Amino acid sequence: MSLTVRQTAISDVLVLVPRRFGDARGWFVETYSTRAYESLLGDVTFVQDNQAFSAQAGTLRGLHFQAPPEPQAKLVRVLRGSIFDVAVDLRRGSPTYGQWVGETLTGEGGEQIFVPRGFAHGYCTLEPDTEVAYKVDGFYAPSCDGGIQWDDPAIGIDWPITAAEAVLSDKDKGLPAFESFVSPFQYRPPGA
């Protein structure tokens, strides 16, 4: 599998772009291979695939996480359309605690973002009729489901939309502020 890998400003969050092979018929891409991703992602074993469709541009989903004892890492990609994808470091003791990184992912470009355990994740659709697919390394556990406010000024995410433009679920409208959040995640330095 041919793959381009780029670290973000938070080194544990990676952008991965599998190579597409095209001809007159279109193109082919291998979107995931345990063999290729194993050395990049460590002991992550994906157990579930999820897919979401958003009809409107400006649909915002997040910022979500799954807390211990059932945390989840995610490998996110866009099947159709485009998104601005965000990961926020929630690991107490991390040198990047409370910081965020954002990447534009497109169906056309095939970019993927790896969001490790201990991060909140969210995205905003940039086009109507956008479809997102993501792998997770833990099964959904409703009792561990959590989130933080998507537009919290303490985090300061530079979203491509305003609060008035955001299409939100009732759940996402009521998520707590970062300043009142007590993180269940602990940072473990590499090699520790």
Pairing mode of beta strands 82-89, 119-125:
antiparallel
Phi, psi of 47 (to 5 degrees): -120, -10
- 89 touches 161 (CB < 8 A): no
Rounded distance between C-alpha atoms, residue 87 and residue 119, angstroms: 6
Given the residues 37, 121, 123, 134, select the one marked as catalytic: 134
Q: How far is CA 105 from the centre of its chain?
A: 10
**Listed residue (48, 87, 71) closest to 144, CA to CA:** 71
Q: How far apart are CA 81 and CA 3, in angstroms?
A: 22
Q: Is 121 a catalytic residue?
A: no
- For the chain, the first-to-last Cα distance in angstroms comes to 30
Alpha-carbon gap, residue 150 to 33, rounded angstroms? 32
Largest CA distance in the chain: 55
Catalytic residue among 64, 97, 121, 140: 64
> Helix (H, G, I), strand (E, B), or coil: what is residue 172?
helix
Q: What is the set of active-site residues?
A: 64, 134
